[in-house]
A and B are shown apart, each in its own frame.
Chain A
Amino acid sequence: MRPIDRREALRALGAPAFVPLLKHFHPSVPQQDGGWKPLLLAEGEIETVTQLAERIIPATDTPGARQALVHQYIDFVLSKAAPERRDRFREGLTWLDKRSQALFGSPFAALDAARQDELLGRLAAIPSSEDPAGVAFFAAAKQLTVDGYYRSEAAMTQELGFEGRTFLAEFKGCTHPEHHAWRLEE
């Protein structure tokens, strides 16, 4: 289906009372740039979060978490979160470095990607033999990462090709003959 452009939408909607309002659509908001400062997390924590998020959703032929600025999203969300949630997350970062130190002799951010993946693999395993606090931290970090990544401009446009939240003159629904023809096996 074809998104109709704004000018056409104005004509199609044809309601003068609403014309001035359309100026407010799609405000163009620049991505946060190099001048960004964390609201909550310390520099070292940001580095760990950035690397952790990038291992959860790495760059492939499309951007990963780092390019999608997921660390900025996580810092923002945590800055607004309840104190207990913030503390739990920061304790989790500390736990991750300790565990990393014990296994590989370096904090998480100093490991190479393969070692990082090895540690995360232990936490993601079902069931995991790691400390439940560490497993819970990984689950929380993964949830924040996927929330932040998939709502980013990079993910919505380049990874998943989202084209919604727009004006359509018509909604055609499923237009695939093979879906309509599909039959359940008896």
Chain B
Amino acid sequence: MSTADVVVIGSGASGGMAAYNLTQKGVKVLLLDAGEEFDRRYFWTHTLPYQADARLRKGDEPPRFFLDKKEQPYLTPEGKPFDLMRVWGRGGKTNVWGRVSLRMSDLDFAAAERDGWGIPWPIRYADIAPYYDKAEQLMGVCGGTDDSDVLPGSKVLMPAPAPRCGEVFLRKACDKLRIPIVAGRRANFTRPHRGFAPCHYCGACGQGCDTASFFSSADHLIPQALETGNLEIQPNAVVARILVDANGRASGVQYFDRKTGAERQVKARVVVLGASAMDSTRILLNSKSTRFPNGLGNGSDQLGRNFCEQMMVHVRGFLPQLYGRGYTNDDGIGGEHVYMPRFNHRPDRPKPDYLRGFGMQFWNTGSQTTGADVAQHLPGFGAAFKAEVKKRYPALVSLHPFGEVLPRPENRVTVDESRRDRYGVPLMKIDVAFGDNERKMRKHMYDTCQEILETLKAEIVPIDREANDPPGSSIHEHGTCRMGKDPKTSVLNSFNQMHEVGNVFVVDGSAFPNASEKNPTLSIVALSWRATDYLAEELRAGRL
């Protein structure tokens, strides 16, 4: 293909949706994917830990979903670690994602208007709501009938799976504390969906799904795009730069073959970046020209800045009500079957001493993992210790608050001209630290977890209140290519189109002006759908 109508970079939630939507509309798309297809014949989904050990000892290996940081390094300043998880291959991170599918609301879209931090989104819930409807339907999201100012409802959800024992108790505690708790919303098919089998409740979704019974771009977007005949995929294409013409418009894409290292260029009328937040930002920052000396479309100096995500902490306890009950199959749909939406803004709550909020997830509650998850938290050794582990094995409850990390201009991605990757392309540097707001919110997170467990008279595993997961751990990177009304403070307009380069769209998580406390994939899919509807119309009208 010498000139594609649209070159899409990345095949995950955002790039996959762009390819899916555009090809259905008759647009010719070339998809540049940094890896290859993952072969589900070799997934280790139903491999028990001891079987995995035996296979590993024989030299067998599970599929390598996550990119080796040695192959594609990134820089961090001394003492400021950042844990970047990337999946380079067909479907990207949706192969192994957490599947939590939460609608954002005007609490999130208009947050900056209320508290003055950062910039508000250029869209409101009403703009994206029809796309949430379509995305949830396509993605086979299961959930309940709840509908709130935090978590708007849906009419198209599949039935929620029944709660596990520990989740029944968590709900009672939250009822007593007047903290709403709702059915989890996850893109696991609890009914047959679009010709695919329903979930078989093995709980090993993190290893990939044998039956494609949860939403992934590799199974539920790309094959459908290929069926249109309008999609061509170039695998192992590691994109370095967007090329620009004399008029400052994108003219094509430069990439390197991951197998041979050979440089390639491809022309394009329109470029859509969906390479995930950090890599799309890296590509744009490396796309320097006389017209754009600081990176493509970066006249505002906002590209790479305003990084935001979620901060997580983890609290565990054991429910005496469940002691000694023996093993229960708690696998279910993998993660928790209940979710605690943000509640700190409610009128019956004291006004927090920090901005924004947190929600809570409860993965690994019950007998979902090995006994080591219990044993490592108990003191002692010997026959009595062994008996204590067995007694608590069905009784584990795990609390995982996710709190919004504020966007700050100094939390940023840059590229370092003096350090190059294997293709000679400048490496990205990620410079991120949490601040006071996150530390204050962390205290509220721990207090809430403790309150819930104390309400249940649970045995609480000792808490280190200074602890939180390091930056990057949420795997929800945002903000570095944000959308907004004002080209001076944002990079993209309300349709994910660059203010300064009309034929470049960025449809991944980097477009979010703020992260919210919610897992972002549903919103990414909905936004990419919306942006590419607009793109296709602009293309048809001859404006691109």
Q: A residues touching B (Cβ–Cβ < 8 Å)?
A: 1, 9, 12-15, 18, 20-22, 24-27, 29-32, 55-58, 60, 64, 73, 76, 117, 120, 124, 126, 142-143, 146-147, 149-153, 155-156, 159-174, 176, 179-180, 182-184
Q: Are B386 and A57 in contact (CB under 8 A)?
A: yes
Kindly state whether residue B48 has any CB partner on chain A within 8 Å.
yes
List 20 other contacts, CB 8 Å, given A26-B47, A29-B54, A55-B382. A12-B197, A13-B197, A13-B200, A21-B210, A26-B46, A55-B381, A57-B385, A58-B382, A60-B383, A150-B370, A151-B50, A162-B367, A164-B330, A165-B47, A165-B204, A168-B201, A171-B161, A174-B163, A179-B168, A184-B172
Q: What 0/1 pattern do residues 325 to 369 of B give for CB contact below 8 A with A? A: 011011111000100000000000000000000000000000110
Q: Are B46 and A153 in contact (CB under 8 A)?
A: no
Given A156-B370, A160-B327, A168-B201, A174 and B53 contact (CB-CB distance below 8 Å): no
Cβ–Cβ < 8 Å partners of A1 in chain B: 329
Task: For B368, give the chain A residue with the smallest CB separation.
Answer: A164
Cβ–Cβ < 8 Å partners of B502 in chain A: none
Q: Give CA–CA (A29, B58) in the complex, Å.
A: 10
Given A12-B197, A147-B372, A155-B371, A173 and B161 contact (CB-CB distance below 8 Å): yes
Q: Give CA–CA (A165, B456) in the complex, Å.
A: 29
Given A14-B197, A165-B203, A168-B329, A159 and B370 contact (CB-CB distance below 8 Å): no
Chain A interface mostly? loop
Partner of B173, one of A12, A76, A166, A184: A184
Cβ–Cβ < 8 Å partners of B375 in chain A: 146, 149-150
Given A15-B211, A160-B393, A174-B168, A167 and B49 contact (CB-CB distance below 8 Å): no
Pair count A-B, CB < 8 A: 180
Q: Give CA–CA (A150, B50) in the complex, Å.
A: 9
Partner of B331, one of A25, A60, A149, A165: A165
Q: Are B376 and A143 in contact (CB under 8 A)?
A: yes
Task: For B49, give the chain A residue with the smallest CB separation.
Answer: A151
Cβ–Cβ < 8 Å partners of B56 in chain A: 76
Task: For B394, give the chain A residue with the smallest CB separation.
Answer: A160
Kindly state whether residue B55 has any CB partner on chain A within 8 Å.
yes
Q: Which B37-79 residues sit within 8 Å CB-CB of chain A? A: 40-42, 45-51, 53-57
Given A73-B53, A179-B321, A184-B455, A163 and B327 contact (CB-CB distance below 8 Å): yes
Q: How far is the CB of A79 from chain B (nearest CB, A)?
A: 10
Given A124-B381, A166-B46, A167-B202, A160 and B371 contact (CB-CB distance below 8 Å): yes
Kindly state whether residue B390 has any CB partner on chain A within 8 Å.
yes
Task: For B166, give the chain A residue with the smallest CB separation.
Answer: A174
